[in-house]
Each structure stands twice: as structure tokens, then as C-alpha cells.
Amino acid sequence: MSFFARLRDWLSGLLDPEPPMSSLPDLRIAVGTPVQEASATVRPGARPGSATQPIPGAVSQPARANAGIMAISSQRTRIHAAFDAGMPVEHRAGLAGRARELDRLVEAVLEHGKHGIVFGARGSGKTSLSRVFGDLADEAGATVLYNLAGGDIDFSELCRPYLVELMSIPGEGVRRIDIQPLLNAPFDARQVASILAEKVRRPTILVLDEFDRIENLATKTEMATLMKLLSDMRSPVRIVAVGIAANLEDLIEGHPSLRRHIVSVPIGGIETEQLKALLLRCCETAGMTIDDAAATRISRSAVGSPYHLRLFGSNCAIAASRAGQDHIDDAVVQQGLVDAYAEWSALSPRAAAVVADIQRLPKQIATAAAVICLAAAMRTRIERTEVVLVLDEDGHDDATIAAAFAALSPILHASAIEGSYYFDDTLAPQFYLLVYNRRIDPTRIKTPGLDDLRTVLERGVRDL
């Protein structure tokens, strides 16, 4: 299905600005009921205030309370483990909806000897994909080494850990004497490429996560040079870079011929039914059941993102647990979505303020902003021409479209490619769509203050 067809499909089923906002809880009212200390029970005939004698076979109030707390704690632990929204998956079964991307990466890197670039929004499953790919590469007999990039790191600091680790692996062929000159002094791509090409004997994959966080342009240039040299030297070493950036221009600038040595693997949104299947597996693991309508609502609200699916699902499951039930219905879904939004808005107040402001704009502008967010949720990069084509067909004029882009501009930025945009908070599009579809009313969500945060912390400790 083409991008335009998929966007049309999402538009027809997702963007509905006027559904009823049934039983929306008001977060200005404290969530949950504080546990009250049980009053002392007095046996008939006993004097008030006197010590009571235990009744044979009876279970004391503290024992019942402790048993209840332990049961709740155990259930919450299962929920957190089952949904685990903040951690990448470690096995192929948990990699929902990414079979095509995984096959593309395996074929290009392991079979054709290309370097890989995996990019997508935060929470889209990039790191999970690279981990599962690494496991498959290891099963195929390759050595797989991981590293994290970030900040103003220079090329030598980025590559030195790989060299040290290769030296410690028996049979790799890299000895300390080979890399000694590089351990304490800066080096360039040609020096490290020569060592890798001459000494490494078996297929080796260097996975570099969070590549987009590298701010040093010289480091990116040297990394591109290293990729080119490794390919030219027919080295068995390949590099797989993982990041948020939705284009390769910074990486291949000055090395246009590098394109033929690279496979790009974009991680976009996945289909609602695949998200729903993932949600059902998570619920089963957590020991909970869920209504079909509730599962559909959560899956559609995630708009293609497995991270949002797990985040929304875990909040809904915890809402059910707090209500004393192990079943997720529509009522607890509403509470769970509100909890998820409140959590995000507390951590991303600037983006949350933009979301709230746009909802006060004319409906046409708010709808255009929703389409922009929908395109961002489906892809990591927003192409203005594609968005304009869709909005033009729906009767939006140029001024309205420009106003929508302007309203989002505090969190929506132009990329290195002309006419392309990206969100600096890649979690924001799904939360805006929650607000647009009236599943969340941001005006009724109170930003936690010190006392609220203390309550949340205490509740979180009890939930562990």
C-alpha cells in the first residue's frame, strides 16, 4: 500500500474531532483513595482502649492488609515486566510488525556485505530491531559489538572501544601490539580501516546506537570515510548505525559513492492489527484480559508506534489494577490514556503547551496540524509536499496549512533536506492526536506540583 493510500486509510478511521468524551476523569481530583489506617476493633464486653485478645483462627487486619499489598505489588510487577515500555525487546517474537525491516537488514548486511542505517522516531523500535538483528548475526557466526554515540565525541573516542573489545576476543586476529599506537593518541578513519581490513578474519558487525546524537560534524565525516574504506578494502567488518534522523545527508555528504555501500532501513508506523496483537500478548503475559473494543481503542491511539502501544497499555493495566480488577474495559482505558498524557506532559511541558495551544485555534488549522502529526507518526520525516497534497484534497487552503506548520514550529523543525521536517519530541504526534480526537482534555490535566510528585513517588514505590 502506498504512503498516500495508508495516510488516507488512517485519516478515514482515526481523525474524528467530535466523538463523545464519556466519563473523562478530572485530574484536579486526587487519583486513587489513600489507604486509611484500620481502627482498633474492640471485643464485646471489653473496656474501650483495653488490649484485645486474638481470636483463634482469625486473620488480623494488618495481615489482611499486607496480603492485599503483596498481591497488588505482584500484579504491578507483572504489568511492568509485560509491557516494559522503556526497554528494547531482546527476542524476535517481541518485535511486532518489523519482519520486513529485519529481513531487509539481514539480507543487505549479512548476505551482501553492506553497511546499515536504521532510523526512526523515538520509541519506534530501532534499538529493538538492531538487538534482534545482532542476535541473528551472532547465530550466523558473526562477531557483534555495540556502542553508544553522543554529544561532541570525536572519532577516536567513538571507535577505540571497538578496537579494545576486538583485541579481547580470541581468534579475531587483533593483538595489542596492532592497536597500541591508537590507544592513547587520536587516529583517523584510514588508520583504523587498515587494522580492521588486515587483522579481522571473521564477519564482524559494529552496531553504533544513537548515531544522530553526534554533534561533531568531523566525527560523522570520518565515520562515512571509514564505511567507504572498509567496503573498498573488502573488509569483513560492517557498520550498522542507528538513530532518529530520517535522512543520510549528514553522513554521506562528501561521499556520494557511499550510497551503493549502504542500505537504509526506515522504521515507520506499523498496522493497527499488528499493534493489537502485541497488546494482547502483553496483557496475557501480565495475567490480564481486555475487551476487544478497548484493545482497538488503545491500538488506534498508538498510531503505529509500539512504544506508545506499550505505554498506553501499561497505564491502562495499572488503572485496572488500582480499580481492583484484572480486566481492561473502556472505562479504565480512558483513565489509562489520561495517566499516560499526564506523565508525558510533566516530562515535556513545552511540547504539551504547544498541543494545548493548537486546540484553541480554528478547527481547520487544528485539523491540518493533526494531519501533519499523523504523517510524522507514520514516518519519521514529514514531507511538506505530501502533506499539502492530502490537505488540498480536503479543501485546506495554503494559508491554513502555513498556519498549522507555524503553530507546530516550536517543536517542528526543518531538516537538512529542503521541504522536510521532524519533531524534536518524537513522542508528541500521538499525544496531539489524543487531544485532537477528544480522548484527552489537556485543560483538565493538572501539572504535578511538589506534593503531587511526592504522592506519585510514594505510589510508585508501593507499586514495585
For the record, the C-alpha cell of 334 comes out as: 480512558
Do residues 250 and 393 share a domain? no
Q: How many CB atoms lie within 10 A of CB 154?
A: 14
Do residues 262 and 121 share a domain? yes
Residue 26 reports pLDDT greater than 60: no
Q: Which residue among 267, 295, 317 closes a domain?
A: 267
1 located within any domain: no
How much is the pLDDT for 252?
65
293 located within any domain: no
418 located within any domain: yes
Do residues 250 and 356 share a domain? no
Residue 439 reports pLDDT greater than 90: no
| pLDDT tens digits for range 318-337 | 999 999 999 999 989 999 99
CA dihedral 304, 310, 316, 320 (to 10 degrees): 140
DSSP symbols for 55-83 = PTTPPPHHHHHHHHHHHHHHHHHHHHHHH
| Whole-prediction pTM | 0.70
- Mean of per-residue pLDDT scores for the chain: 79
CATH number of the domain enclosing 161: 3.40.50.300
197 located within any domain: yes
Do residues 107 and 252 share a domain? yes
Please provide residue 19's backbone torsions phi and psi, each rounded to the nearest 5 degrees.
-75, 160
Do residues 246 and 130 share a domain? yes
For the record, the C-alpha cell of 258 comes out as: 557511499
- DSSP code at position 47: P
* Total domain count, the chain: 2
- DSSP code at position 107: I
Are 145 and 205 contacting, i.e. CB atoms less than 8 angstroms apart? yes
Q: Which domain holds residue 410?
A: 350-426
Do residues 216 and 105 share a domain? yes
Please provide residue 174's backbone torsions phi and psi, each rounded to the nearest 5 degrees.
-90, 120
Do residues 233 and 106 share a domain? yes
| pLDDT tens digits for range 60-104 | 454 444 444 444 557 788 898 888 755 555 556 556 667 888 999
Do residues 223 and 118 share a domain? yes
364 located within any domain: yes
Query: Is the sign of the CA dihedral 22, 86, 327, 303 positive or negative?
Result: positive
| For the chain, the helix, strand and coil percentages under 3-state DSSP, each to the nearest 5 | 55, 10, 35
Three-state secondary structure readout of 312-362: HHHHHHHHHHHCCCCEECHHHHHHHHHHHHHHHHHHCHHHHHHHHHHCCCC
Q: Which residue among 267, 302, 324 closes a domain?
A: 267
Q: Which residue among 246, 267, 288 closes a domain?
A: 267
DSSP symbols for 367-410 = HHHHHHHHHHHHSSSEEHHHHHHHHHHTT--HHHHHHHHHHHTT
Do residues 105 and 225 share a domain? yes
Residue 247 reports pLDDT greater than 90: no
Q: Could you tell me if residue 59 is left (phi over 0), alpha (psi between -120 and 50 degrees) or otherwise beta?
A: beta
